[in-house]
C-alpha cells in the first residue's frame, strides 16, 4: 500500500466503516504487547492506531494513562517501540498509525523520528498535543518520508478550521466524538458527530474516523450511523490487557457492530 493513500484504500476495500483499535506499545511488556496487537489483527482490525508510552499524556483518561505507566515500568523505550512496529509490519499490510505526543518526537529529532517511522512501515502519525498553528514544524518532514500527517477536528471546529485541517491532513481526519479526555464518556451524541462529519465532507474525501468515548458496540453503531468511515476504540480494549481472549471477544463484537 502507498502510505499516504492507505486508509482510503482500506476503506474502499472494506466497503464499510473501518474498525481501528488502539493500544499502547509495550503494555504490559514488549512480548505481551506484540501478542495483543496480533490478536487485534486476527480479530478484524482494518487499521491500527498505536501509542508510544508517555509519562504525562494530557489527552488521555485514566485507562490509557495506566497503560502508559505499565509500559514505562516494564522498561519500554522509543527504540523498543520501533522494534515492535517492525515486527508488527511483518505480519500485516493494514495501515498502521501512531498517536503520539510531541515531546517524544522532539527528543528523538523530528527528521529522525519520521525516517524511523518510514523504516518501520508506519503509515500515519497524529501528534495529540501539536496544534494546527505549529503543524508546519512537522508536516513537510512527515511527507518527505511518506508519512501521512493526521489532525483532529471536533464539534467546536469552525468550517474555516476544518478546511485548514483538511488541506494539511493526509491519511484520514480524526473526529472527536465529545470534548474531554479519552475513555470516560458514557454516551456518544449522534447529532453532534453527524454535524461535524457533514461539515468535514465539504472539504475532503479522506476517511473520517471517530474516536474518544467509543466504549461499546452501541456507541460504535452510533458513530457509523452518523456517517463515520472508521471507528477508533482504545480504552475499552486496553481495560482487558493482557487478556487476549477477552480482547478478541471485544474486537469481534465491535467489528460486527459496524458491519
Active-site option among 27, 60, 116, 170? 60
Q: Which residues contact 111 (CB under 8 A, 6 or more apart)?
A: 141
Contact 47, 97 (CB under 8 A): yes
- Burial of residue 136, with CB atoms counted within 10 A of its CB: 0-12 exposed, 13-18 middle, 19 or more buried: exposed
**Residue 67: all three cell numbers together:** 497503560
Contact 124, 171 (CB under 8 A): yes
Specify whether 49 is catalytic.
yes
Cα 136 from Cα 126, distance rounded (Å): 14
Active-site option among 35, 42, 49, 73? 49
Contact 100, 53 (CB under 8 A): no
Contact 232, 199 (CB under 8 A): no
Q: How far is CA 30 from CA 25, 34, 39, 77, in A?
A: 7, 7, 15, 10
Q: Which residues contact 204 (CB under 8 A, 6 or more apart)?
A: 166, 169, 173
Q: Which residues contact 247 (CB under 8 A, 6 or more apart)?
A: 36, 39, 40, 43, 237, 240, 241
Specify whether 73 is catalytic.
no
Which residues are identified as catalytic?
A: 49, 60
Amino acid at each position: 500500500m502507498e502510505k499516504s493513500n492507505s486508509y482510503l484504500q482500506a476503506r474502499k476495500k472494506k466497503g464499510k466503516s473501518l474498525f481501528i483499535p488502539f493500544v499502547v506499545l509495550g503494555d504490559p511488556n514488549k512480548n505481551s504487547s506484540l501478542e495483543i496487537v496480533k490478536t487485534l489483527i486476527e480479530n478484524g482490525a482494518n487499521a491500527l492506531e498505536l501509542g508510544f508510552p508517555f509519562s504525562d499524556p494530557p489527552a488521555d483518561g485514566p485507562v490509557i494513562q495506566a497503560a502508559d505507566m505499565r509500559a514505562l515500568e516494564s522498561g519500554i523505550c522509543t527504540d523498543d517501540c520501533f522494534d515492535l512496529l517492525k515486527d508488527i509490519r511483518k505480519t500485516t499490510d493494514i495501515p498502521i498509525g501512531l498517536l503520539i505526543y510531541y515531546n517524544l518526537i522532539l527528543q528523538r529529532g523530528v527528521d529522525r523520528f519520521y525516517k524511523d517511522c518510514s523504516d518501520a512501515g508506519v503509515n500515519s502519525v497524529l501528534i495529540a498535543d501539536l496544534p494546527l498553528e505549529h503543524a508546519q514544524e512537522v508536516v513537510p518532514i512527515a511527507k518527505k518520508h511518506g508519512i501521512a500527517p493526521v489532525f483532529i477536528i471536533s464539534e467546536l471546529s469552525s468550517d474555516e478550521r476544518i478546511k485548514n485541517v483538511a488541506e494539511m491532513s493526509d491519511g484520514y481526519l480524526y473526529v472527536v466524538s465529545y470534548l474531554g479526555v479519552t475513555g470516560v464518556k458514557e454516551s456518544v451524541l449522534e447529532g453532534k458527530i453527524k454535524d461535524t462529519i457533514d461539515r468535514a465532507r465539504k472539504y475532503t474525501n479522506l476517511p473520517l474516523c471517530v474516536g474518544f468515548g467509543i466504549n461499546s458496540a452501541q456507541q460504535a453503531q452510533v458513530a457509523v450511523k452518523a456517517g463515520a468511515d472508521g471507528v477508533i476504540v482504545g480504552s475499552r480494549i486496553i481495560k482487558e490487557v493482557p487478556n487476549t481472549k477477552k480482547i478478541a471477544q471485544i474486537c469481534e463484537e465491535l467489528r460486527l457492530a459496524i458491519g
